[in-house]
Structure 1
């Protein structure tokens, strides 16, 4: 196994949302705070960026018909990269809570799933617990709320047999699972898969953030404030291995490359002290992990 820096110091605030575009062989990712989207080709090392002019950017996924679906603030919109034009699809209302879309991914049927995180408008920085929700945007553009009382919605993944959806609300310090119906797009039977509070290294592993899944059905979870990506067996809940990243605020990960055998990891300098930044000079970089001996699955795209 080898860990290297793929792109240096590219996200000065909060790197997030890596997504491998298989058809283009490029990596999508973003800076949540700067509301800036990036597209990088590892073969040519060409890096393109696009600022979207909002206060925050939650996630981005490609659309089958072209362009991208983006979650910005409380809106879901279609983005045309070349023109930078966004077209509103849905918007959620929020009263007294600065509720914004965070992480998002598409399910095997091409629906877009995304959740929110909330902070009170009149309070100091921080999260308001249990004020947010988990939604899906179906292929007709209809927005459906599935779960409420979410705090900080984050990682998602689906099992290879399409019967289970894995999910992270970071403030719970757990990876959870739902029974997933691919036809109706409904979820049920919420349960714990991995409880970070019960792990032997609970004091150092950090908080579960973004997540992906490999072809063996194992979950790879970015551990914020833990400086690692941890691999778990969702059946037993046991940690199988971990990859140390030289930047403790690891935020998310995805598999990419021609064979989906490269793991890309985003990091966040956001709110790091000057001392921490000196200790970890590669903050804000995208890391690449190779020779893991596992492969990921192609990422789903939005079919609306």
Structure 2
């Protein structure tokens, strides 16, 4: 059973995470240029949704251990020390901000912030995955490093619980890839296809959605190391075993889920953001939760959010 979070409507919801200390759910509206959060008993009358306007499109964000947030905007990665606070640039990348922006990302368990970019024109596989290391005691100033590339729409970033595998998707290519990951040394090797999805059939429409699984968008990992990915236009989440086998398909009440995360005090509430922007009127009428946050309870808990260390 799915519950819709009131007042959570976005054009394109993304990057949800559960803040355990605040008992708060955070997420982004990318084209709406906003951070949203709701605190306390999610869904209760007292749990109001707050919105923080940003100067450009946010792609992803994470909480910081010392307070505040790290946020990837169109042109780079910024630090805010408090809700609604000043945005201070930490790192910029050399992409053309007229057609490129940051998209999906999160922190790893060691406190480094990862963010992938997106080619809005979708005419070239020139998007990349970056890692920002600002940890104290490393002897270096904040450093951003390109870790992978040759993508069109960076998505699906997730890290296995044992910190030995990194997952990263290219939505436009309908593929999720995996790498062996040395977390301490922060190096990637043995790149491989984790799962290749079929392309959208010619003539496919949301009026007749059968025959298309959707394409991989945002993702998360549960405590058993299973990879959960939102299938944009597929109206479902897929749960993969570490072997790459699909072990569950979970229908959602939106055509375009964008990213799942686990939250609640026991990390057994599955929250899912979704998209409404550009969707057909008939689809939105049929699926009125489109663009909102929906949630359900699950048996296997997720992993707690990783905080940015600086």
Query: What's the TM-score once normalised by structure 2's chain length?
Result: 0.89
The answer to whether the Cα contact below 8 Å between 2:23 and 2:264 also exists between their aligned partners in 1 is yes
SS of equivalent residue, structure 2 residue 283? helix
Q: What does residue 278 of structure 1 align with?
A: 285
1:147 is aligned to 2:148 = yes
What is the CA-CA distance between 1:8 and the residue it aligns to?
3.0
The match for 1:18 among 8, 16, 37 is 16
SS of equivalent residue, structure 1 residue 275? helix
Distance 1:104 1:259 in 2: 23
> 5+ unaligned residues in a row in structure 1: which ranges?
120-125
Distance 2:125 2:255 in 1: 26
Q: What does residue 3 of structure 2 align with?
A: 4
Provide the aligned length of Structure 1 versus Structure 2. Answer: 291
The answer to whether the Cα contact below 8 Å between 1:193 and 1:234 also exists between their aligned partners in 2 is no
- Residues 222-254 of structure 1: CA deviation (Å, up to 9, x unaligned): 01001111111131x221112211110110010
Q: What does residue 196 of structure 2 align with?
A: 195
The aligned runs of 1:216-231 (5 Å cut-off) are 216-231=224-239
1:262 is aligned to 2:263 = no
The aligned runs of 1:53-64 (5 Å cut-off) are 53-54=55-56, 56-64=57-65
What is the CA-CA distance between 1:46 and the residue it aligns to?
2.5
What is the CA-CA distance between 1:134 and the residue it aligns to?
0.9
1:302 is aligned to 2:278 = no
What is the CA-CA distance between 1:262 and the residue it aligns to?
0.7
In structure 2, the CA distance between the partners of 1:95 and 1:244, relative to structure 1 (3 Å rule), is closer
Distance 1:281 1:172 in 2: 28
The answer to whether the Cα contact below 8 Å between 2:75 and 2:97 also exists between their aligned partners in 1 is no
Q: What does residue 209 of structure 1 align with?
A: 217
Q: What does residue 37 of structure 1 align with?
A: 35
The answer to whether the Cα contact below 8 Å between 2:198 and 2:212 also exists between their aligned partners in 1 is no
The answer to whether the Cα contact below 8 Å between 1:196 and 1:202 also exists between their aligned partners in 2 is no
In structure 2, the CA distance between the partners of 1:83 and 1:97, relative to structure 1 (3 Å rule), is closer
SS of equivalent residue, structure 2 residue 172? helix
Distance 2:106 2:210 in 1: 27
Q: CA RMSD in A?
A: 1.8
SS of equivalent residue, structure 1 residue 34? coil
Query: What's the TM-score once normalised by structure 1's chain length?
Result: 0.91
Distance 1:160 1:273 in 2: 39
Distance 1:20 1:105 in 2: 12
Distance 2:37 2:114 in 1: 21
SS of equivalent residue, structure 1 residue 269? coil
- Residues 53-84 of structure 1: CA deviation (Å, up to 9, x unaligned): 22x11011011111100011011000233443
Distance 1:82 1:97 in 2: 28
What is the CA-CA distance between 1:45 and the residue it aligns to?
1.4
Structure 1 consecutive aligned stretches of length 4 or more whose deviation exceeds 4 Å: none
Distance 2:211 2:246 in 1: 15
SS of equivalent residue, structure 2 residue 284? helix
Q: What does residue 99 of structure 2 align with?
A: 98
What is the CA-CA distance between 1:129 and the residue it aligns to?
2.6
The answer to whether the Cα contact below 8 Å between 1:11 and 1:30 also exists between their aligned partners in 2 is no
The answer to whether the Cα contact below 8 Å between 2:74 and 2:97 also exists between their aligned partners in 1 is no
Q: What does residue 164 of structure 1 align with?
A: 165
The aligned runs of 1:102-181 (5 Å cut-off) are 102-119=103-120, 126-139=121-134, 140-181=141-182
In structure 2, the CA distance between the partners of 1:82 and 1:247, relative to structure 1 (3 Å rule), is closer
Q: What does residue 203 of structure 2 align with?
A: none
